[in-house]
Amino acid sequence: MAKILIITGRLAEPIVKKVVSEIKSEHTVDILTMPVSIAAFLTTEYVAKYLRDVAKVKSGDYDYILLPGLTMGSGKVIEEAVGIKALKGTLDAYGLTEILKLRKLDEILSPDIPADEVMQNSAENMARDILLKIEASLNDENSISVGRVRIPLNPPPIRVMAEVFEAHLFGLNEVLERAKYYVESGADLVAVGFEALNPHPDKVYEFTRKLKENLDVPIAVDSSIPSEIRAAVNAGADMVVNIDLTNIDKVSDIDKDIAIVVVPRDPNTGLIPQDPDLRVKYLVETVNRAENAGFSKVVADAILDPPLSTFRSLIAYYKFKEVMPNVPMFMGIGNVTELIDADSIGVNAIMTMLAQEVGASIVFTVEKSQKAKGSVLELKVASQMAAIARYRESPPKNLGISMLVLKDKRRAGIEINEPYNQVINASEEERQFRFDPLGLFKIYVDHKNHLINALYIGKKGRILIRGKSAKAVRYEIAARSLVSEISHALYLGEELAKAETALILGKEYVQERPLFKQLRYIKVSK
């Protein structure tokens, strides 16, 4: 048990007292409120002088002094002045809950860096160590090699495959740029896909060779057409996706070292059966046929169905794994993400956890629609979360990595504690403001180059200001005195903030339009 002195300002004092009173901590905690309103304005020099000369704090009174996270300067200044270790706490008072659970604060916290950052770095390092241990555990007995990537027979880890969809519609360089984007987003394997019925063996060969020459990840070709499969193999593809009972005999003479993904297509109808048991039957038969033909790297895809049929297809995955536990499985999560009007990040998160549960070692997606943009990165993060959670045998939370983007785990609960003498309820009615005589701004978001563009049109000419953040653009506007009306400045601040949010989330930004829609249900009267 330690004796801790928490330093705060007048504004945060009530919150700090509330948090401390609610925490069941083994430590003895005192609170010292400094004669300043906002704790972020404190400097360690000022705190050191106040503790020494006014509060008369001396060595032995406390084991630790806990500073607000935004205190300027190093806590070492305070330690030198009063002989007590001074460490930086969290950016908001509610973060004290986790800090006061620590047994030895100085083993984790820093005199120089806010606790939020220190603890996040510590959690990330722990997560990284777990992921490295999982990777190091893979060997010839529990995984297969596809190019330089090991695919576990049973996850974790889960590998992410991204496909350049309908590659025949694009030029060679465009396909390469798209593939590079997938790799930068975290894809472990990249696939190229073509038309289902019209063969493009020349393009398959050309694109496969190009990707093999320029990317350091395994390259797969998604095709069921024998001429395309042969072209892919000849071009050096590492994997072929879409082998079934209708085509396996036609390609059984290709290089047996190539990995193949087999699907449960009915050889009589050419269709994927709806019944889970039939899917398992055809999938087992296809795997056995492939192995008998000499293929040693066989991956099974029970085919994930769109929403409202998804659960039924998951049953097929689960049952297949019971029958063939040492055959890696493949799951096309894009089949769900693309076919539901919901934010992809949550869909990809839960589907990846389900992939882990049923034993899928590869998750697959395309970023075909606008709403699915970013899915590769989302699947990569989700796959790491699933791996860490399974390793720790815990739910996928508090892992050092998360997919919380639009919502927070908790609210800071900041309240107004400053005195005021008037309350004005702001009206939502549109108001007319005086036109800024200096000119106006047109604001655009360039997602391709990750830029905010602010085009000034006015007395000083036509000036395009580009920046990666709202702050950067705002600084340039101010430095060049391009705004003369307060209402215009406030308006620009609002729009630039919306533009930056759109840039971060990959959302469409249109000046003066709301960035987010309110979630609503349809009221149905009886």
pLDDT single digits (tens) 53-88? 999 999 999 999 999 998 999 999 999 999 999 999
Mean per-residue pLDDT over the chain, rounded = 93
Q: Which residue has the tokens 């959690």?
A: 123
Which pLDDT value is given to residue 71?
92
pLDDT band, very low/low/confident/very high, at 146 (cuts 50, 70, 90): very high
Please determine, for residue 1, whether its predicted confidence score (pLDDT) is greater than 70.
yes
Query: Tell me, what's the pLDDT at 96?
Result: 86
% of residues, the chain, pLDDT over 70: 98
| pTM, full prediction | 0.85
Instruction: Tell me what pLDDT residue 412 has.
Output: 61
Mean pLDDT of 41-52: 94
| C-alpha gyration radius of the chain | 29
Check residue 411 and give its pLDDT.
Answer: 67
Residue with tokens 């000022």: 46
Could you report the per-residue pLDDT of 454-513, keeping only the tens digit for each? Answer: 999 999 999 999 999 999 999 999 999 999 999 999 999 999 999 999 999 989 999 999
**pLDDT interval class at 415 (50, 70, 90):** low
pLDDT grade for 15, boundaries at 50, 70 and 90: confident
* Contacts for 28 with CB less than 8 Å, ≥ 6 apart: 1, 2, 3, 4
φ/ψ of 11, rounded to 5, equals: -65, -40
State yes or no: pLDDT of 394 exceeds 70: yes
- pLDDT at 383 exceeding the cut of 90: yes
pLDDT confidence band for 234 (50 / 70 / 90): very high
- The predicted pLDDT at position 247 comes to 94
Q: Which residues have a Cβ under 8 Å from the Cβ of 14 and sit 6 or more positions away?
A: 415, 417
CB 167 within 8 A of CB 194: yes
Q: What percent of the chain has pLDDT over 90?
A: 80
pLDDT in tens, 188-219: 999 999 988 889 999 999 999 999 999 999 99
> What integer pLDDT is reported at residue 101 of this predicted model?
84
Identify whether the C-beta of residue 47 lies closer than 8 Å to the C-beta of residue 7.
yes
Instruction: Give the other-Cβ count within 10 Å of 457's Cβ.
Output: 12
Q: Is the pLDDT of residue 92 over 90?
A: no
Say if residue 417's pLDDT is above 80. Answer: no
